[in-house]
Amino acid sequence: MLKSKTFVKKTRSGGIMKIVREHYLRDDIWCGSEVCTECKQEETVLQKDTYIESNLCSFPHYLLPDTNIVLSQIDILEDPLIKNVIILQTVLQEVRHRSAPIYKRLKDILHDKEKHFYTFTNEHHRETYIEREQGESANDRNDRAIRISTKWYSDHLNNTPTDKRLKVVLLTNDRGNKEKAEESGLLTYRCEEYVKSLIANPELVDRLALTNDDKNEITSSKVLFPEHLPLSRIQSGIKSGTFQQGTFRASRDNYLEATVFVHGEGDDSTEVLIQGLQNLNRAVHQDLVAVEILPLNQWVAPSSVVLQDEGPKEDDVTEEEEEAELKSGPSGAASRKPTGRVVGIIKRNWRPFCGMLFLSQIKEATRHLFTPADRRIPRIRIETRQAATLAGQRIMVAVDGWPKHSRYPNGHFVRSLGSAGDKETETEVLLLEHDVPHQDFSQAVLSFLPKMPWNITEEDMAVREDLRNLTVCSVDPPGCTDIDDALHCRDLPNGNQEVGVHIADVSHFIRPGNAMDLEAANRGTTVYLTGRRIDMVPELLSSNLCSLRSSVERLAFSCIWEINDKAEIVKTRFTKSVINSKASLTYAEAQMRIDDANMNDDTTKSLRGLNRLAKILKKRRIEKGALTLSSPEVRFHIDSETHDPIDLQTKELKETNSMVEEFMLLANISVAQKIYDEFSECALLRKHPAPPPSNYDILNKAAKSKDMVIHTDSAKALADSLDAAQVDGFPYFNTLLRILATRCMMQAVYFCSGMDSDFHHYGLASPIYTHFTSPIRRYSDIIVHRLLAVAIGADSTYPDLMDKHKQSALCNNLNYRHKMAQYAQRASVAYHTQLFFKSRGILNEEGFILFVRKNAIIVLIPKFGLEGTVFFENKDKPSPKLIFNEEAPSLTVEGHSFNMFDKVKVTISLDASNVQHQKIRMSLVEPVISGVSVAPSEPEPEVKRAKLDR
């Protein structure tokens, strides 16, 4: 049966266009139930035996939720107890329009065969499709469609001779919808009353999201926050310039402070400072908010106080009491920043948060505060009857709302992750908090892997250059199994040298648009945690078929140069190839070969040639203004049985590290130029923006404290200034300055050439750059491989590759994933550092002051590459006299002045008093200040130390 839908649409030019769409109605859409004998279905989803113990429904039944139940109670629907659920097409379409994350979660449930969720296409069924009536809203029409489909199912299953007891239960929290459904004789319950009736799993009640009625019950009557403005007022305010729209970013160090990043034209963005509970007005980290800029006389400077929300505040605690610590001294007019207040929320960016329960002191209480692991997220009030069980566990909680009467947002329990402190649990928390996709690869993804045993075919050889005879070798960190790159160097008859960079040909195995490609694009990067790797592509590719291991034939994408004696490029060519690596070396092994005069085999000669050219290339790069920055990287020695860290050292870089880096940079630059020459609108490139002058304030202050001047007007000026910055008798000063300079830098980002005009890479002093050399662990490189393959005629193109808008959207995801991977890696290092100090007791170490705050100094311990805070205010002791000079910056404690880069001696220990936020605690030993410094700790017994240092 054919129906037609007619609607009008406004065109870009302002005209009106009438659109007629054909809508087919069918008789052959089946119900999906095992009990049905009428439908001629080959496969069924809904089970015959659907009995679930319930005080309300003592009979077998299917559930049919409306749209709002799916949107608000997805955690309930995901629970293993809830099975045999009918999801209507109407509901699926509405959910898709209203929430992409929930739509994805619903699709995952529908694909899970264990759950028995069935999609019924009611909009195309002759008996369940309905037209929208005159004067009826789209929402009311959809509610009616849901009721009609529920009625159809009830009648349809009632006609089944096998089981007349099987019923369909409509779940809705909409009062009007429920009343109309009951008038039609339908079995209807609110989600809460149905879940509370389940006998089998009383804990499921904790996963209920609060409805508006429940939210009002929990809060006090006193209004604590200003009302949020409606969206219509916000939009007109933004249009008129009264309000600004931006991303809310809460402070990690001060819970009463945040910054709103207001995006302007192009790369311009303004920062608006928000201080105090009233002005923060219930915004949560990463929300999209509307802010009103306060009058100039109300502008303030960012607080230099480190302030954390240490305990639960009752709703009647006054704002003045809570914020007294924030207003700690006047600030100079020069340091004041545009200050504002949040007037409304444009888009919430809530996700399920990991953390721990802070149990209420009231006996038999069911309402407790949840403390998120991320300090930027406020505490969340939840209702649970299993608090005693959840105490000491890491759990996930979702936010349901934040009423203006409540000091904290309200939420509900989602699931438990395991015991706090357990290594598996802590790693899971770390991955979830940094949004790192880490689930096992699905069967759909794995189905695109090549069948084993895999071999290079004659067809492959016919379209590739055979380079198996070359002396190719790889140089990587110890234990590396995902070898992306290999190198060769040989003399040419004309006196020049041929150098080749050979990169794993991952794009041969991952074809555009298939499930494996989509998964890799979503993951964006491999994430390296301490002792664990989360692959971007399945292990068969990452550690085997794509990995350029020695003594096996592998497919590669080669960049080959002819280079003269002065390391100048004479000729460049790119080719798909087949190689056979002659050696897989570590940086140390390669260095030993280069240094050992007795070794003169082909691989060693190749390494020496590469090393000689790399030194010339690096020297020339630095002369052009490339920066040599520094960040202390650490290496853990892990116990093979317990997997705990037994030693911690800063990584030592060898000449061979630099050798490999130089040729990777050269390959990336060569490929960037080639793909941009061929595809000026859609080349995927990488840029590093120059930092704004204000970023260098702290670096300039640090240099000034040592009577030096750092020139920052160009990368070359900065590089030269850093080279010249030396202090007699203080060799580590230059490293400290470079560490500080690194903190001043902007983040390097991927972008599409057709969407930007500034290509420059500031840190490398290169006019153009991309990533080509690590396709096993970076998806950007796979795209670059595809572009290069099309450019040299080695592969065919596809529409998305040439679409600059899609390329730009992909770059946004890659930048996000790359940033989150970096944060996850740092968090993993921090966690393992804590484990290391847990077993070491208290250590005495020398360090240097990196930053000076109003009430603390931040100290770097070079031996461990570790940063920690020495606080000078302690709740248990009277505070010492502190004088903070913001200009210097310096902090005077009881008459002793602390400046940046001063040498200090501290004790280091693990403070495990807060199980969730364990932290490295540092206390001052030297200089000795009465009442402030502590005595050095005694060394540990030798027996214990010997075991740890093995």
821's tokens = 């991977």
User: How far apart, in whole angstroms, are the C-alpha atoms of residue 511 and residue 518?
Assistant: 10
488 in Cβ contact with 473 (< 8 Å):
yes
What element of type H or E holds 62? strand 61-65
Taking Cα atoms as reference points, which of 437, 489, 247, 267 lies closest to residue 824? 437
User: How far apart, in whole angstroms, are the C-alpha atoms of residue 160 and residue 937?
Assistant: 80
pLDDT at 785 over 60: yes
Long-range contacts (CB closer than 8 Å, 24 or more residues apart) made by 698-701: 698/740, 698/743, 698/744, 698/851, 699/737, 699/740, 699/741, 699/744, 701/887, 701/888, 701/889, 701/900
pLDDT digits (tens, 9 = 90+) for 251-267: 887 888 999 999 765 55
827 in Cβ contact with 430 (< 8 Å):
yes
pLDDT for residue 882: 86
pLDDT digits (tens, 9 = 90+) for 534-565: 999 999 999 999 999 999 999 999 999 999 99
Give the angle subtended at the CA of 225 by the CAs of 220 and 228, to the nearest 5°: 115
416 in Cβ contact with 384 (< 8 Å):
no
What element of type H or E holds 424? helix 423-433
Please compute the mean of the pLDDT values over residues 266-287 and round it to a whole number: 86
pLDDT for residue 945: 32
pLDDT digits (tens, 9 = 90+) for 74-90: 999 998 889 999 999 99
Taking Cα atoms as reference points, which of 251, 297, 307 lies closest to residue 274? 251
- Write down the mean pLDDT value for the chain: 85
The better pLDDT of the pair 396, 947 is held by 396
- Give the model's confidence band at 876: pLDDT under 50 very low, under 70 low, under 90 confident, else very high: low
Q: Give the gyration radius of the chain's Cα atoms.
A: 32
pLDDT at 871 over 70: yes
**Helix (H/G/I), strand (E/B), else coil: 602:** helix
The better pLDDT of the pair 233, 9 is held by 233
Please compute the mean of the pLDDT values over residues 102-116 and round it to a whole number: 90
Contacts of 716 (CB under 8 A, 6+ apart): 624, 625, 765
Q: What is the 3-state secondary structure (H, E, C) of 92-106?
A: HHHHHHHCHHHHHHH
β-strand partners of 342 = 291
412 in Cβ contact with 210 (< 8 Å):
yes
pLDDT at 575 over 90: yes
Taking Cα atoms as reference points, which of 210, 211, 205 lies closest to residue 174? 211
**% of the chain beyond a pLDDT of 70:** 88
pLDDT digits (tens, 9 = 90+) for 584-610: 999 999 999 999 989 999 999 999 999
759 in Cβ contact with 669 (< 8 Å):
no
Contacts of 780 (CB under 8 A, 6+ apart): 524, 684, 686, 750, 770, 771, 811, 814
> How far from 783 is each of 535, 628, 810, 813, CA to CA, in Å?
17, 29, 10, 13
User: How far apart, in whole angstroms, are the C-alpha atoms of residue 823 and residue 827?
Assistant: 6
- Give the model's confidence band at 647: pLDDT under 50 very low, under 70 low, under 90 confident, else very high: low
pLDDT for residue 659: 92
User: How far apart, in whole angstroms, are the C-alpha atoms of residue 221 and residue 253?
Assistant: 31
**Helix (H/G/I), strand (E/B), else coil: 489:** strand
775 in Cβ contact with 507 (< 8 Å):
yes
pLDDT for residue 420: 87
Please compute the mean of the pLDDT values over residues 2-13 and round it to a whole number: 62
470 in Cβ contact with 583 (< 8 Å):
no
> How far from 634 is each of 646, 650, 652, CA to CA, in Å?
13, 4, 9
What element of type H or E holds 553? strand 553-563
Contacts of 880 (CB under 8 A, 6+ apart): 872, 893, 894, 929, 931, 932
β-strand partners of 892 = 883, 897
pLDDT digits (tens, 9 = 90+) for 408-419: 999 999 889 999
Taking Cα atoms as reference points, which of 455, 511, 482 lies closest to residue 789? 511
User: How far apart, in whole angstroms, are the C-alpha atoms of residue 893 and residue 879?
Assistant: 10
pLDDT at 6 over 70: no
The better pLDDT of the pair 464, 915 is held by 464
pLDDT digits (tens, 9 = 90+) for 709-731: 888 888 888 888 888 888 777 88
Taking Cα atoms as reference points, which of 256, 288, 274, 277 lies closest to residue 340? 274
State how beta strands 553-563 and 497-504 pair. antiparallel
- Give the model's confidence band at 943: pLDDT under 50 very low, under 70 low, under 90 confident, else very high: very low
pLDDT for residue 944: 34
Hey, how many other C-beta atoms are within 10 angstroms of the C-beta on 333?
9
What element of type H or E holds 617? helix 602-623
pLDDT for residue 327: 52
pLDDT digits (tens, 9 = 90+) for 142-199: 999 999 999 999 999 887 766 667 889 999 999 999 999 999 999 999 999 999 888 8
Taking Cα atoms as reference points, which of 602, 614, 622 lies closest to residue 657? 614
Taking Cα atoms as reference points, which of 214, 249, 274, 171 lies closest to residue 401? 214
> What is the maximal distance between C-alpha atoms in the chain?
96
pLDDT at 294 over 60: yes
815 in Cβ contact with 716 (< 8 Å):
no
pLDDT for residue 330: 45
pLDDT at 426 over 80: yes
pLDDT digits (tens, 9 = 90+) for 622-633: 888 888 776 655
User: How far apart, in whole angstroms, are the C-alpha atoms of residue 529 and residue 820?
Assistant: 12
26 in Cβ contact with 125 (< 8 Å):
yes
pLDDT at 369 over 70: yes
pLDDT for residue 947: 30
Highest mean pLDDT: which range of 798-807, 834-843, 933-942: 798-807
Contacts of 453 (CB under 8 A, 6+ apart): none
* Sign of the four-CA dihedral 836, 842, 845, 847: positive
β-strand partners of 382 = 368, 411
Residue whose token pair is 């009640």: 205
pLDDT at 293 over 70: yes
pLDDT for residue 328: 43
pLDDT for residue 604: 95
pLDDT for residue 4: 58
683's tokens = 């080349």
pLDDT digits (tens, 9 = 90+) for 297-350: 888 888 766 655 555 555 444 445 455 555 544 455 567 889 999 999 999 888
pLDDT for residue 940: 47
* Sign of the four-CA dihedral 205, 206, 208, 210: positive
Taking Cα atoms as reference points, which of 159, 690, 79 lies closest to residue 413? 79
The number of CA neighbours under 13 Å toward the Cβ of 436 is 27
